[in-house]
Structure 1
């Protein structure tokens, strides 16, 4: 596995940024011969690629520090791209960087032209946890032409309910991320908006897409009941949804375990 730390100047972000990119390579235990080369190293035709998102207070190094994503990606022959998004909910901020534009336009174009990844939608995926779980569904459902599958772990997917119930001590600057649905009284009218995964799913279907979605949550996670609600709503819509739950909380032990299931799900037709 080759891990590359990439620095480049981003137009969408208006600054120099850092990316971490894993590219699977033949390991030291694999003899590189015509006989046993695996298709997972088919650089010529392009490898599958996963844009892997972090949660709140995380960055482009979160998955590297706290999980074994490099080994899991190497074993399965998939490129993994990680970039920082602050606490933006992966939005174009009113006062700040344009994260939605970056993750859906500039970053995929850069990755597709610099690394041996496929440009095929069927091999382009997005996944994340917590805030990044929302981000994965948000990006995947708003751009179903770009991402064929979107996976969430412990996701803040029901953003309308979470935004409506935010407290005075909420650490997120919701107004900066969702400024165009802010009421005069300070309320956030996220339900049915372009930020609402439920509404985005309906639009994707109306546009002729059948998004493939995955969600997992630990039974001790503070977002467990919220995720159960999301599951019911999506099942009522007839969504192509894979759901998983198990013992665990809102922590890296759970996410490191379930990212393995997600990788297998992504690479299964």
Structure 2
């Protein structure tokens, strides 16, 4: 009789004893480096093919019957799907896995151009592209759990805004949302009073592209995470909510994030908010990666059946 290998013996222990998510994470982390794939998906909402990236966990290639929780991640302005890897976020996720802080999940990143991921007043329908096109594509193409409990949406800057808005408008699709230095406006941007007000000029120019020229106040409210949170407080209480922002955010989005924190407190929606030392952008996310990925895993881990090495679609 041939001796049983250590690897085979360990998986036998996992299956027999019914180890929970923490133990599952430990086995995942024996080889913590994930892999990246790049491709395109067809978006009927946009009428064209759209590039995307996907981060596959290290066990994906070796466990062909296993299904995984899913994070949809939305990038920021003037970025694209390749920045997840290029800016060090994938490396930070690998590091968190290596430390046993998170288990295995898939991350899918669609290209969002500079859309803010909304159905623009006059322009592309990016919210529909994410909800109606990209999410179904990912769940057909990759081995996801395909359940609300196994899905989370996250994003940075413009993508943080998009993640919050989409989660608040579609809470039945996601177990949670995570946003980093989200680009939240507290009111409709108005024309700046001075040509020296560069941030004011930038904000107003962006608002005219998103909310109409001049910006339509009613349309703005319908796409404000602050207003949607107030209007849909009962529905979004089902979400796990996390957001953080730098105290030195160069666009002053710390003000909008603080206002969202106050708004959620006022309508009694539980959430995690951190005003952290730092600026705006990818370096801030990488610095906060342990807390960010820890939140993602705490939200998604219950979707992985305790003791199951092969979580299946329900």
Q: Same fold (TM over 0.5)?
A: yes
Q: Between Structure 1 and Structure 2, how many residues are aligned?
A: 251
Asked if the contact 1:128–1:135 (Cα under 8 Å) also holds between the matched residues in 2, the reply is: yes
Q: Does 1:150 align with 2:180?
A: no
Deviation at 1:5, TM superposition (A): 0.7
Q: Does 1:9 align with 2:42?
A: yes
Q: Which structure has more RCO (C-alpha within 8 Å, separation ≥ 6)?
A: 2
Q: Distance in 1 between matches of 2:234 and 2:220?
A: 15
**Deviation by residue 1:188-210 (Cα, 9 ceiling, x = unmatched):** 31588321213322443344853
Distance 1:118 1:164, change over 3 A: farther
Deviation at 1:174, TM superposition (A): 2.8
Q: Distance in 2 between matches of 1:173 and 1:208?
A: 28
Structure 2: 5+ residue stretches without partners: 1-33, 98-102, 193-199, 300-314
**Deviation by residue 1:58-102 (Cα, 9 ceiling, x = unmatched):** 111121110232551682311001111111111123454321101
Q: Which residue of 2 aligns with 1:50?
A: 71
Structure 1: 5+ residue stretches without partners: 33-40
What root-mean-square deviation, in Å, do the aligned CA atoms of Structure 1 and Structure 2 show?
2.7
The TM-score, its normalising length taken from structure 1, stands at 0.82
Q: Quick check: 209-218 or 189-198, which moved more?
A: 189-198
2:108 pairs with one of 76, 81, 88: 81
Asked if the contact 2:177–2:242 (Cα under 8 Å) also holds between the matched residues in 1, the reply is: yes
1:251 pairs with one of 255, 267, 281: 281
The TM-score, its normalising length taken from structure 2, stands at 0.71
Q: Distance in 1 between matches of 2:215 and 2:239?
A: 30
Q: Does 1:236 align with 2:293?
A: no
Distance 1:259 1:128, change over 3 A: farther
Distance 1:130 1:174, change over 3 A: same
Asked if the contact 1:217–1:244 (Cα under 8 Å) also holds between the matched residues in 2, the reply is: yes
Alignment of 1:191-206 (within 5 A): 193-206=221-234
SS of the equivalent of 1:77 reads coil
Deviation at 1:146, TM superposition (A): 0.8
Q: Distance in 2 between matches of 1:46 and 1:99?
A: 27
- Higher-Rg structure is 2
Deviation at 1:23, TM superposition (A): 1.1
